[in-house]
Amino acid sequence: MPVLLFRIPRSAFRVESPVFDFTVDATSGCARSGTLTLPHGTVETPVFMPVGTQGSVRTLSPNDLRASGATLVLANTYHLHVRPGEQVVEKLGALHRFMGWDRPLLTDSGGFQVFSLEGSRRLDEDGVEFQSHVDGSRRTLTPERATEIQWTLGADIAMAFDHVVPGGADEPTARDALERTLRWLERCRKRHAELSHGRMGGQTLWPILQGGAHLDLRTEGVRRILDLGAWTGLAIGGLSVGEPKAVMYDMLERLEPKLPALPRYLMGVGFPEDLVAAVERGVDLFDCVAPTRNGRNGSAFTADGPVNIRNAEHREDPRPLDDACDCETCTTFSRGYLRHLFMAEELLGLRLLSLHNVRYLIRLAEALRAAIRRNTLGPWAAEWRRRYLHTGSA
Amino acid sequence: MPVLLFRIPRSAFRVESPVFDFTVDATSGCARSGTLTLPHGTVETPVFMPVGTQGSVRTLSPNDLRASGATLVLANTYHLHVRPGEQVVEKLGALHRFMGWDRPLLTDSGGFQVFSLEGSRRLDEDGVEFQSHVDGSRRTLTPERATEIQWTLGADIAMAFDHVVPGGADEPTARDALERTLRWLERCRKRHAELSHGRMGGQTLWPILQGGAHLDLRTEGVRRILDLGAWTGLAIGGLSVGEPKAVMYDMLERLEPKLPALPRYLMGVGFPEDLVAAVERGVDLFDCVAPTRNGRNGSAFTADGPVNIRNAEHREDPRPLDDACDCETCTTFSRGYLRHLFMAEELLGLRLLSLHNVRYLIRLAEALRAAIRRNTLGPWAAEWRRRYLHTGSA
């Protein structure tokens, strides 16, 4: 009987000599392929981060994530703060040990979540008061609290607490959010330095650029963020929040020349076509719930575009979901079986499509890296779009 | 990146030279440890079969089942007949290929399911007319149809179509069901022989003993089943269907001396204490949905008895679910994290407890085998009960 799968030693979750480093190894146009070194390991970019909102990438185990080639996973500060609470996570050995994930982790600051809680939040200069979606209790997140919670969780990368506005926000609204985000960034930076006692701890803090769809605000934001300190990465927030995709692509394209050489993380993005477009525009890191959420709805990314496995056409189809894929789902099961699992409401179906979709985006990032290193990203992307989007152009 | 997990060659699901064999390797009292050889592999007994009702052991993949040490898995003829239909399974390469399971499979005949459909079934000598729980369509299962469907599915072991009565059935009711089951057995045997053209095919057919809680009926049943032909195994049906556990244990104890040396399969059993008691009474094979159903409800078998992971006491508990267990769940995660998954309604929790419970019962069968081979089953079972049931006696 095969028995002992693995038992991760507790020491695997601790880091003695933390290192933060980023090198760009190759470029193709504006696109970059790099190596991001973090306390819990090395991340090759471009990279897609699966999202473990509540400390679990929905339906998937750490073994599944490792088999999918995931090197960096995201978890949400807001969700872990309201349940089970960061003190519980700390008592259970901090976030890496809690989740059973020994590779790098990034925590979002909770800014995006509390600004998504329409009607049940109150904003002032100090921070945001909101109502927990779990038990209705009143809670407050401030730049300092968000930084402290993330310090307690202990991810490799913590995010600054930011003020997010909808995609179509006008200039004064976007300006207001940018200014507040910059003031909050200074408070986050100060608190993070106190917590790490001025030494390079096991965690780094990344700023988030806001400014809506206003290039001048974004450009000014980049400059003022860089004036605030020496950073190890930069996140682009407030995109993919309701604006048309063309607006996001245009903003990235025009912003790219203003960005420093730091790792660039486009938050909450995205779908396969968004990854390709954003990598072409110089982005390095991505996260999105789409692979697991769509997977649970029966929708799968494939080389030939999205497939809904519930469709009757798959009933007796012996082919794999995606014949270009090497994941456990595609190497083991037919479309007919996967459709059966969804029709019969078997939980295994949710898991198998989530696993495939996560592997799909990680493989896509791997392919983008390879194309950048060969300096053939343009033709590679054209061919990819021809097959995925059934079109000859971008 | 670790990538290609495995790709099972199609040939792995086909068997060129089917073999059916059973040898008893050791005994300890009435308990036996044996080796059951089937077309798709060898099964050491006593053995627990995880239940894949609809062609999937709820939440678990074939890789999980292999890692759990499962050697034999059960699927349900009734469920696969109504959805997706045996013709679809056949077109997708028959049941082994469909499920991605290359080890032995057993299909239940559907008898238990159609007799569980209270109010929506009609019984006559030919068979049972019932209403599909999926689409309400009228369907008929007869001994011949149940045999044909199972032949199409292609499991290693098919079960005869039987008439099941509740645990408290009186003697005339139990006699009627026994007689009908015997008449139906002859029809199943005949149809199975026709399908296999009189040759030993890739599938064997096992009879099911009925007779309720009436020893004389059961004894007569055994004799008449053996008169009907040469069998490769014998199932005991109609127990664990509502009667007190003491009645089941007593029946097994008094029946044991009447049973042939064939592999003995106690259908639908059971909980850990039932496995131990039934093995002591000479049973070799078991199946039950309890490990996966209880797992999805947050209930776990452990060496010290059942644990409900939702209990507040586990909130900050860094210990594994069961420190005696070698499964992925117990070697990776704390009770605190598992509780969090259940409180946060994360699907991974259902899977991790199901995985543990399946491994628990398979490990229990492994431990029973070892104790029988050492001829120390009595003291082993006493010690097991002391810890699991918190009692000094059986």
Confidence category of residue A2, pLDDT binned at 50, 70, 90: very low
Q: What is the DSSP letter of B50?
A: P
- Is the pLDDT score of A5 beyond 80? no
Q: Could you give the angle at the alpha carbon of B278 between the alpha carbons of B272 and B279, nearest 5°?
A: 90
- Is the pLDDT score of A392 beyond 70? no
Nearest by CB to A59, which of B6, B99, B348? Answer: B348
Q: What is the pLDDT of residues B302-338, one digit of tens each?
A: 999 999 999 999 999 999 999 999 999 999 999 999 9
Which residues of chain A make contact with B315, given a CB cutoff of 8 A?
Answer: 84, 88
Residues comprising chain A, all counted: 394
Element (H, E) at B23: strand B21-28
**Residue B169 · residue B212 · CB < 8 Å:** yes
> In whole angstroms, what is the distance from residue B378 CA to residue B371 CA?
9
**Residue A356 · residue A67 · CB < 8 Å:** no
**Residue B349 · residue B282 · CB < 8 Å:** no
Confidence category of residue B167, pLDDT binned at 50, 70, 90: confident
- Is the pLDDT score of B119 beyond 80? no
Confidence category of residue A45, pLDDT binned at 50, 70, 90: very high
Between B308 and A393, residue with greater pLDDT: B308
Burial class (CB in 10 A: 0-12, 13-18, 19+), B121: middle
> In whole angstroms, what is the distance from residue B297 CA to residue B303 CA?
19
- Is the pLDDT score of A183 beyond 50? yes
Q: What is the pLDDT of residues A306-361, one digit of tens each?
A: 999 999 999 999 999 999 999 999 999 999 999 999 999 999 999 999 999 999 99
As a three-state string, the secondary structure of A132-165 is CCCCCCEEEECHHHHHHHHHHHCCCEEECCCCCC
> In whole angstroms, what is the distance from residue A161 CA to residue A233 CA?
15
- Is the pLDDT score of B4 beyond 60? no
Distance between A285 CA and the closest CA of chain B, angstroms = 18
The reply to whether residue B61 touches residue A343, judged by beta carbons under 8 angstroms, is no
**Window 85-114 of A, Cβ < 8 Å to B:** 88, 91-93, 97-100
Q: What is the DSSP letter of A268?
A: T
Mean pLDDT of A279-284: 98
A156 included as an active-site residue: no
- Longest CA–CA span in chain B (Å) reads 66
- Is the pLDDT score of A16 beyond 80? no
Distance between A341 CA and the closest CA of chain B, angstroms = 8
Nearest by CB to A336, which of B69, B88, B315? Answer: B88
Q: What is the ipTM of this complex?
A: 0.95
Q: What is B178-210 written as a DSSP string?
A: HHHHHHHHHHHHHHHHHHTTTS--S-EEE-EE-
Tell me the two tokens of residue A146.
Answer: 């968000």
Task: Determine contact: A340 vs chain B, CB below 8 A.
Answer: yes
Task: Determine contact: A133 vs chain B, CB below 8 A.
Answer: no
Distance between B94 CA and the closest CA of chain A, angstroms = 11
pLDDT, residue B16, reads 60
pLDDT, residue B70, reads 98
Contacts of B292 by beta carbon, 8 Å cutoff, 6+ apart: B50, B51, B57, B58, B59, B60, B354, B357, B358
> In whole angstroms, what is the distance from residue A4 CA to residue A142 CA?
44
Q: Count CB atoms within 10 A of the CB of residue A134.
A: 12
Active-site entry in B102, B156, B284, B287? B287
Least confident residue range of A5-14, A82-91, B162-171, B324-333: A5-14
Q: What is the DSSP letter of A114?
A: H
Q: What is the pLDDT of residues B281-304, one digit of tens each?
A: 999 999 999 999 999 999 999 999
Q: What is the pLDDT of residues A120-173, one digit of tens each?
A: 789 999 999 999 989 999 999 999 999 999 999 999 999 999 999 988 899 999
Task: Determine contact: B318 vs chain A, CB below 8 A.
Answer: yes
> In whole angstroms, what is the distance from residue A22 CA to residue A36 CA?
4
Which residues of chain B make contact with A83, given a CB cutoff of 8 A?
Answer: 340, 343-344
**Residue A155 · residue A169 · CB < 8 Å:** no
Tell which residue, B178, B240, B235, B184, has the closest CA to residue B211.
Answer: B178
> In whole angstroms, what is the distance from residue A316 CA to residue A309 CA?
12
pLDDT, residue A197, reads 86
The reply to whether residue A88 touches residue B336, judged by beta carbons under 8 angstroms, is yes
Mean pLDDT of A34-38: 97
Q: What is the pLDDT of residues B62-106, one digit of tens each?
A: 999 999 999 999 999 999 999 999 999 999 999 999 999 999 999
Q: How far apart, in Å, do the first and last CA atoms of chain B sit?
A: 52
H helical segments located in B256-389: 272-280, 290-296, 328-332, 335-343, 347-373, 377-388
pLDDT, residue A116, reads 85
Residue B331, classed as helix, strand or coil, is helix
The reply to whether residue B344 touches residue A69, judged by beta carbons under 8 angstroms, is no
Tell me the two tokens of residue A164.
Answer: 């997010």
Contacts of A307 by beta carbon, 8 Å cutoff, 6+ apart: A299, A300, A314, A321, A322, A335
Tell me the two tokens of residue A249.
Answer: 């692509």
B54: nearest CA in chain A? A344
H helical segments located in B134-286: 143-153, 171-195, 215-228, 245-255, 272-280
B108 included as an active-site residue: yes
Taking CA atoms, A333 is separated from A122, A357, B5, B92, in Å, by 49, 15, 13, 10
pLDDT, residue B10, reads 55
Which residues of chain A make contact with B88, given a CB cutoff of 8 A?
Answer: 315-316, 336, 340
For β-strands A31-38 and A21-28, DSSP reports them as antiparallel
Which residue type does B122 have? R
Tell me the two tokens of residue A190.
Answer: 């100060």
Taking CA atoms, A312 is separated from A307, A308, A336, A339, B368, in Å, by 12, 10, 9, 8, 47
The reply to whether residue A84 touches residue B336, judged by beta carbons under 8 angstroms, is yes
Q: What is the pLDDT of residues A190-243, one digit of tens each?
A: 999 999 986 767 899 999 999 999 999 999 999 999 999 999 999 999 999 888
Nearest by CB to A337, which of B7, B69, B98? Answer: B98
Which residue type does B209 have? L
Question: Could you identify the residue written with the tokens 């789902």?
Answer: A329
- Is the pLDDT score of B2 beyond 60? no
The reply to whether residue B316 touches residue A99, judged by beta carbons under 8 angstroms, is no
For β-strands B47-49 and B41-45, DSSP reports them as unpaired
Sheet of B285-287, strand order: B47-49, B285-287, B264-266, B234-236, B208-209
Which residue type does A200 have? M
Which residues of chain A make contact with B51, given a CB cutoff of 8 A?
Answer: none
- Is the pLDDT score of B1 beyond 50? no
Average pLDDT value for chain B: 94
Distance between A174 CA and the closest CA of chain B, angstroms = 34
pLDDT, residue A117, reads 80
pTM over 0.80: yes
Contacts of B36 by beta carbon, 8 Å cutoff, 6+ apart: B21, B22, B42, B43, B44, B45, B47, B72, B233, B263, B284, B285
